[in-house]
Amino acid sequence: MRRMLWAAALPMSLWSALPVLAAPVPASAAVAEAPGELTVLHWWTSTSERAAANHVAARLAEQGLRWVDSAVAGGGGGPAVKVLNERILRRMAPKVAQLNGQSMNEWADMGLLLELDAVAQRKGWARTLFPQVLSQLSVREHIVAAPLGIHRINNLYLNLAVFRQHGIEPPTDWAGLTRAAARLRSAGVTPVAFSDEPWQVATVFEALLLGEAGPQLYRRMMVAQEWQAFEDPALERAFRRLRQWRSLSLPAGGAAGGAAERPWTELVADFAAGRAALLITGDWARGELGALGLEGGRDFDCRAVPGTAAAHLFSIDTLAMLAGDRSAQPEQEKMAELLASATVQLGYNRIKGSVPVRKDVPVDELDPCAQQSYRLFANPATPRVPSLVHRMAFGEVGKNALIETVHRFALDPAQTPAAAQRRLLGLLRALPSKPARSAAP
């Protein structure tokens, strides 16, 4: 009876993993951890992401904590979340898991996450962390995760060597990008690096949507979840812009076959090698470019997607501590303290491509692109808007509805932007009227 009640209380996102319970789990399958060991489930598997995670692990080791790595490959974190679901259902939960933004709501509501209020108070997080970061860490006024870094999503990268080679001035607006793309293609260079992987398509789309809608309308859509806002012509324009941008990644003449579902690391490699000149993605790409030996300002330029220069479309990396039997709570709290420390913040973000979550760190040690992102986020006048694709706004169902709609549109040339807008509006209207956690502007 107790088992039935426990299962009935599970978050909806866990039910997709229920078939794993059909086979009995031997007691020996439980994860055995020695004192001071903390298994960490995450999806940081690229070269730069691994290096950033290893840096954190080394800093923890200096304090007597051992990071036991449990990485699950897959951009956007979808596969890792499925593995986490399965492990919780099998009573094999890790001590620490990468959970971001809105996805923490239902986990925290079911008591699966350790509350870190004491840590936050002891280390003065309300004073040292950006308010937007605290907002993303909080559920029902309790801190339920430790922050690692802030990513900016609305970045446009330009391979400066390619532009210099062909005598093209790096463009600053859509008209210039279109002209530059035509010249690049005539010179035999694929203008845009693009992947048809669903989360990557939607990441480009939300940056384009911010440019077409502006921060205020974007917030009405993604934060306030006003369905009327999705009827605005800006949404149709964003779909049209997505189709135009994707077409610049296709062979001349738009040959069939599409852009293919390629890992984001392959796009960055193409961009770094000069096989593509332009790339829209989050600044995790900058970490990978650094791992490939490229330097911002010298080898590539990082600008905002046209129309979004004043705004910061953000995603925040966080690690949640799984409650379990609370036997590891002292170690988990110690880890949370270290993750938010100034030393770990600078080291991790310098490698990862993101920027620190603290207001009191010397960012002159970061590269020019990171300094620009940090100072923009730190400026109280900056419109800061949460990424839907990366779980900063909406729950999993709403996020998946948008990603599925955008992805289907990108792959179906017969679907019009207006039809995609109607489809998305219909799907979102069907969602339960449960407001998401607010994101501070």
Q: How far apart, in whole angstroms, are the C-alpha atoms of residue 366 and residue 376?
A: 14
- The closest of 14, 81, 41 to 391, measured between CA atoms, is 81
pLDDT for the residue 35: 74
Query: Once rounded to an integer, what is the mean pLDDT over residues 238-249?
Result: 97
Confidence label for 441 from pLDDT (cuts 50, 70 and 90): low
pLDDT at 253 over 60: no
Of 21-25, 156-160, 197-201, 320-324, the range with the lowest mean pLDDT is: 21-25
pLDDT one-digit tens code per residue, 192-210: 999 999 999 999 999 999 9
- DSSP code string of 329-379: HHHHHHHHHHHTSHHHHHHHHHHHS-B-SBSSS-GGGS-HHHHHHHHHHH-
Whole-prediction pTM value?
0.89
pLDDT (average), residues 354-369: 92
Beta strands 276-281 and 190-192 are parallel
Residue 24: predicted pLDDT:
31
Nearest Cα to Cα of residue 102 among 362, 361, 394: 394
Least confident range from 25-34, 73-82, 119-128, 399-408: namely 25-34
* Higher pLDDT pick, 86 / 10: 86
* Ramachandran region, residue 114 (left: φ > 0; alpha: ψ -120 to 50; beta: rest): beta
Q: Quick check: 22 pLDDT over 80?
A: no
Contact 379, 359 (CB under 8 A): no
Share of the chain above pLDDT 90, in %: 73
Identify the band that residue 8 occupies on the pLDDT scale cut at 50, 70 and 90. Answer: very low
- Which residues are CB-neighbours of 24 under 8 A, at least 6 positions away? none
Nearest CA to 200 out of 258, 281, 124, 142 is that of 281
Calpha distance 131→125 (Å, rounded): 9
Going from the N-terminus, what domains does the chain have, and what CATH number goes with each? 2-24+32-150+316-379 (3.40.190.10), 155-313+385-429 (3.40.190.10)
Rounded distance between C-alpha atoms, residue 270 and residue 150, angstroms:
25
Work out the mean pLDDT of the chain and round it to a whole number.
Answer: 88
Amino acid at 147: P
